[in-house]
Chain A
Amino acid sequence: MSGSSKKGFTLQQKHGLTGWVFLTPAVLLICWTSFYPMIQAFILSLKTGMGVNLSFSGFSNYARILKDPTFKQTLFNTFFYLIIQVPIMLVLALILASLLNNKQLRFKGLFRTCIFLPCATSLVSYAMIFRSLFANDGFVNTVLRGFGMNPVMWFANAWTARAVIIIALIWRWTGYNMVFYLSGLQNIEYSVYEAARIDGASPMQTFFKITVPLLKPTILLTTITSTNGTLQLFDESLNLTNGGPGKSTMTMSHYIYNTSFVQSPNFGYAAAMSIIILILVAILAILQMKVGDER
């Protein structure tokens, strides 16, 4: 390519160009499969009507969101999951990862596999299994009775139902995040720990003064992906509780799905709500990057 050009490229330009050539297919694919639908979704969000009888109506769908009590309820539910579940999960994952990073530990591979395994299960099937575990005469209540405690009607109360969703999410995703931390930990020189030990640092001190700061980029990554994932939570809400009791465990994505497929279809409104989720995710990601990145 450079030969045919009159002036020719410098070496640096050539390298840059090669990079772009490699990037182009991926960029085009992303534009076509992600950005194009996103733009279409945005255009759709400016239309109202039922089914295919749509007409442009400006930002009326966005104004409608502000007046929708169900959307507010689902927004609350989703943020509740986010605020409770993500920190618990990440702390657990970090603790497990540092335990499993111990060089003296035997059967490390086995433990790692066991903890990662939940993540390989299908979202729908694990949600259904949790539903039967927490059913009125399910396994959990049988165990509670065995200990002489009163059984809990898990799905009959808003707070216990939300608790079940959070427990399920922690079970499903802790191992996934642990793997990120493990790989992050492998990148930390073992000699750093040795030096710390020689200097008389306690395990707690090593954890907070060495592990956490050096893992910061990974922690930031997992926080952003978990936040993102939780804001788009769908399968658990649909399959585990079906949003119930009432709408007290329904997530935003579940409501969007209902608006499109369960209720009389209102795609414009559903698209508008999706755009709102996009904006929320973007804002949270930017905030987290600002807080977490101290360059």
Chain B
Amino acid sequence: MKRKIISALLALTMVISMTACGGGSGADSNSGDTAADAGAGDAAADAGSADAAADTGSGAEEAAPVEGGSADENTLTVWTWDPNFNIYAIQKAAEIYAQDHEGFKVEVSEVQSDDIETRITTAVAAGDLSTLPDIFLMQDNSFQKYATNYPDVFTELTSVGIDFSQFSAAKVAYSTLDGKNYGIPFDNGAVINCMRTDYLEQAGYTIDDFTDITWSDYMEKAKVVLEKTGQPILTSQAGSPDLIMMMLQSCGSSLFKEDGSVNIDGNAELKQIMEIYVQMVKDGTLVEVTDWDQYIASLNNGTTVSALNGCWIMASVTVAEDQSGKWAITNMPKLDGASNATNYSNNGGSSWAISSNCQKVDLAVDFMNSTFAGSNALYDDVISKGALATWAPAGESEAYNQPVEFFGNDAIYAKIVEFATHTPSNITGAFYYDARDAVGVAVSNICQQGADIDSEIKTAQETVEFNMGG
């Protein structure tokens, strides 16, 4: 009898292990669920999903998103991720559109940006696009990857009547592939340098001392600030190359060349930037924190002097109402000696896409055309949430010139729109995240394990080339 029990147990074990393996080998279908579970964790872990991460406060598990289109003729389904930001914007847009179109509604599901991407990948892999909503929002940095690999997911928008010339060209470029438009630009990720003026005062500086400066100047002043206030000038999420990517774009450089080949090894600007980053970590003027939550905490509890990030970071900065009036905004430092260096860059930002599963393309296009590509009222309203338009006519509106009390009564919106116009474009391509990750790993190895900068850059180049070779 005992023998039977043993063999039954063994058989059971084999079955368990094999079924479990089946799950493992079917990673495409299986991990989808896990990723959905990991929603909040993902957003926090990967600051690449910048906008999503700005909203880690509402990390709670959302209800299952509405899949597919709506049966109602006048309802569009939407996937987007931030209740304070893009969900608010699309609902406001629907409200405006409904004024002229009786009964129009949007059915919005809160889905984190990583999860939208995972869901799209899964849907395509399964060959069943019917689960996709009519409209979804996508990170600009991801757009090329999806437009290249899965063009079937999108409804092409090149000649449906949207005037793309009214958006900034650099922004439209993110959602354009081979001259075809796949997205309607939404928010702007112009980089701002948000600084605590009370700390600067203690160190004997004003915000003007940090305007239009270079990184070498910035690093020296950062040391003084550390000495006088005891606080690092910057905090950064360990292993996340956000800051490095912003610095790189500020001098018009990318991780890829025009022809799509990898531009990591031998990229003089990149090396210089990594050296600055590593040096600041050594100086103690840049402190690395473990995750996104701690990054946000450092901004809110006064353990850092500034936040250098896409302008959507304002939504997180302004949460600390007791610090109202103690913050100011200026542009970022520029790289010394680089020929195309500017004080402006971009991080994050996203564009709307109409899925190929959308049965009401005319309605969706008209909705977009009358709101995100044609409504001053919409942009004037959503600016209160820090959603800055990339639609040129909106920038001329009165709302953009209003002073903001939190930031010392400065007309920050007009300022940021101004920053955005100076931002150099960058090359993303389908392998953007592969390259970004490789650079992140390199920086992490250099800062945390003391690895050699040149060999790490070489490894990063090889990793990306390896991924592209498959």
Chain A positions within 8 Å of B, measured between CB atoms, are 30, 33-35, 37-38, 40-42, 48, 50-53, 61, 64, 67-70, 122-124, 127-128, 131-132, 135-137, 155-158, 217, 220-221, 224-225, 228-229, 232, 234-235, 238-239, 242, 244-248, 253, 256-258, 260-271, 274-275, 277-278, 281-282, 285, 289, 293, 295
Contacts and interface: CB of A to CB of B under 8 A. Distances in A.
Contacts of A264: 145, 148-149, 430-431, 433-434, 467-468
Contact of B27 (A30, A68, A228, A270): A270
Given A221-B9, A263-B437, A278-B21, A157 B29 contact: no
Contact of B41 (A37, A229, A238): A238
Contact of A260 (B15, B27, B42, B294): B27
A34 B18 contact: yes
A264 B148 CA distance: 10
Contacts of B45: 238-239, 242
B117 A261 contact: yes
Given A52-B124, A224-B13, A281-B17, A156 B288 contact: yes
Interface stretch (B104-112, B272-280, B441-449): B441-449
Nearest to B456: A246
Contact of B444 (A38, A239, A244): A244
Contacts of B10: 220-221, 289, 293
Nearest to A61: B470
Contacts of A217: 5-6, 9
Given A224-B13, A269-B470, A51 B24 contact: no
Interface stretch (B32-40, B184-192, B242-250, B405-413): B32-40
A235 B124 contact: no
Contacts of B198: none
Contact of A277 (B3, B21, B40): B21
Nearest to A277: B24
B289 interface: yes
Given A256-B31, A261-B117, 7 more contacts: A124-B38, A220-B9, A238-B42, A239-B41, A261-B35, A267-B28, A277-B25
Contacts of B113: none
9 contacts: A48-B470, A50-B148, A52-B152, A135-B290, A221-B13, A256-B27, A260-B31, A261-B118, A265-B121
A155 B290 contact: yes
Contacts of B459: 69
B121 A260 contact: yes
Contact of B290 (A53, A136, A293): A136
B183 interface: no
B143 to A, nearest CB: 13
Q: Is the interface of B mostly helix, strand, loop or mixed?
A: helix
A245 B13 contact: no
A64 B470 contact: yes
Contacts of A246: 239, 441-442, 444-445, 448-449
Interface residues of B, number: 70
A232 B24 contact: yes
A220 B10 CA distance: 9
A35 B444 contact: no
Nearest to A40: B26
Contacts of A245: 238-239, 444-445, 448-449
A136 B37 CA distance: 26
Nearest to A232: B24
A265 B149 contact: yes
| Most chain B CB atoms below 10 A, which of A30, A51, A155, A224 | A51
B444 A266 contact: no
B449 A158 contact: yes
B67 interface: no
B17 A225 contact: yes
A122 B37 contact: yes
B380 interface: no
A295 B149 contact: no
Given A217-B6, A224-B13, A261-B121, A41 B470 contact: no
B377 interface: no
